[in-house]
Every structure is written in structure tokens, then in C-alpha cells.
Amino acid sequence: MSQIDQLLSSFSENKVVYYALLFALLFGVVKVTILTLKFVSLIADIFILPAVDFTKYGANQGNWAVVTGASDGIGKEFALQLAKRGLSIVLVSRTQSKLEAIANEISSKYKVNTKIVAFDASTDDEENYSALKKSIFDIPVTVLINNVGQSHSIPVPFLETETKELKDIITINNTATLRITQIVAPVIKSSVEKSHKKVKGLILTMGSFGGLLPTPYLATYSGSKAFLQAWSNALAGELSSFGIDVDLVISYLVTSSMSKIKRPSLTIPTAKQFVASTLRTVGRRNGAQERYATNTPYWSHALMHFAIENTVGVYSKFANRMNLNMHKSIRQRALRKQARLAAAKQD
């Protein structure tokens, strides 16, 4: 008898060891099966299933979408692409002139109605919220895009974060988002009820990899986006019975004024590409397989999310350390650039 046969024979004689090994084998099979099914689901969500038909959210039926942070980047793309699908648009952002230009573009190109609300989210001014409420009280809103947001100017240790920057991030990312949703969501609920549930409502809130993974040197921004994850998931549970879908949308870097990245790459899409993938896959999880009412829509971001979650884990020390080192390096490069610009001005 070989040594392997002897070993197996000894295991079969020891019932405790035998059943422990059997349990470990079954557990491993279950884990592998679950991981395989999750990966197949991810591939189907990203590459196979057809695009979501926005008629179920009231497109081409006289309904409206409210888009915050609508004057640039991702917000502007949401406004354009929702208008292309047949929704009239309420544009909410700080700069009146930019809003007017986008409103004219949408009206001429897509032949839908527009409204504009000049709204500085950093002030938390009651007049802003009143103006928004007045602009939508008599129109059938079925979609809200919570896109307004702010990050740090450059990565910075929390203990060195300026008070104004800290307050602006929390006010814009959290307070304004919650207050706006409290104003718009009841209008969506009423619009769905008046349609006799022929259409559904939709609330999308922009999350971030900075909220997915705790991110040193972006601690305040990271915390603000993690807050939106929990809040949005809770809201999804509250509003589902009213026919309103709620999703947190997670992104890695996208070319925009906030990211300060101009050139797209395999992992950094343009705002147009990112929004297209988001609207195509609304209601699916893509890379956010482990999270309720959450979508990581862009294909490379989805694969990154899935890989991190199913290897080191988003809350691991390893992931934290990698994030720390990356943002330290980004900060050093940003400081060197600031120094060069300052020297050039003196010359």
C-alpha cells in the first residue's frame, strides 16, 4: 500500500478528521460555485443583457428628470443622454450662463423642454432649496440624478485639511444631496402614483471608489461617499414599495474637471462613455455583486471592483496601504507642480 493510500485509510478510520475534510471539501465547492455564478452574472450584466428601456421611467411620455451638477462633465452628460431618451430636463448647477447654454443645446437638439435652477450647493442656502421646489412642484418628475459633488483639491492628510474644504465637501456631497432628494422624491412618488404605476421612478446617486475603499489622504471625501452608500441603500428599501428604483452608482476615475484627468484610457472613460454605461445598465449590479441597490457600471471599473472584493477585500489593510501609497505619490507630484507654477510666476 502506498503512503497516500495509507494516509486516506487513516483518515477514514478517524471519523472526526474524515468529516472535517468532507465539510472542507463541500464548503470549497460551494464557495467556488458562488464565485463562478457571481462572475457569470457580472459578464451578463456588462456585456450580454440588452440596454434598459427608459420608457419604464417615463421617457417620451411628457415626464421630467432633475439633474444636479449639470453644467459640466458627468452631470452634463446625464442631462444630454436623458434628453436624448425623451425626458425633459431640470438643470441644477451653480453657473447660470452654463445652464442656459446647455438648456439651449438640449432644446434645439432633442426637442424636449428644459428648466434651469442656479444653485450653489456649498452655501446650504434655503433660497436654493425653495427655488428648486418651486421649479418642479407642477411638473411630472420621474428621475433624479444626484450628481453634485466635490473632492479635495489635491490629496491631503486629514489633520492638514482646511476647514473650508472639509465643510464644503460634507455640505455638497451629503447635506445638499439629502435635502435635494427630500424635495424631489415626493414629486417622483406623486408622478408614479398619478400614472397608476404605468411608469416607475428612478433616483441615481453618484458614489465613488473613494467610498468603496477607505482612502487615506482623501479621508473626508472618502467618508462622505461611504455615507452616501449606506444612505442610498437604506432609501432604496424605503422607496421600493412606491415604485421608485434607487441606485448608488460607483465609479473609478473619469475624465472631468474634478479628477483633473483629460485623457481617457482603459480604466478611465470619458464622461460620455461612463454615463452611457450607467444608463444602459440601470438596476443591475455589474461589479457591485455583493451590494444591494448599487451599480458599478463601466466595464473596467466593474472588473476592478469584483477583483478587489473577491481577493484582498475593500476593507483590508493591504488595500488601505496601497491606497495610502498611491495618494501620497499623487500629493507629492501635485505639490511639485504647484512649486513649479509658483516659481514660473515669480520669473
Residue 227, C-beta contacts closer than 8 angstroms, at least 6 positions apart: 173, 174, 211
CA dist 329 and 155 (Å) reads 9
Task: Give pLDDT tens digits for 225-275.
Answer: 999 999 999 999 999 999 999 999 999 999 987 778 889 999 999 999 999
**Amino acid type, 291:** R
Given a cut of 80, whether residue 18 has pLDDT beyond it is no
- For domain 53-332, give its CATH number from 3.40.50.720, 1.10.468.10, 3.40.50.170, 3.50.50.60: 3.40.50.720
N-terminal to C-terminal alpha carbon distance within the chain: 86
Q: 13 pLDDT exceeds 70?
A: no
Express each pLDDT in 315-336 by its tens digit: 999 999 999 999 999 999 999 9
Question: Can you give the residue ranges of every domain in the chain?
Answer: 3-47, 53-332
Q: Is 217 a catalytic residue?
A: no
Q: Which is the catalytic residue, given 57, 221, 252, 298?
A: 221
208 marked among binding-site residues: yes
pLDDT in tens, 268-293: 999 999 999 999 999 999 999 999 99
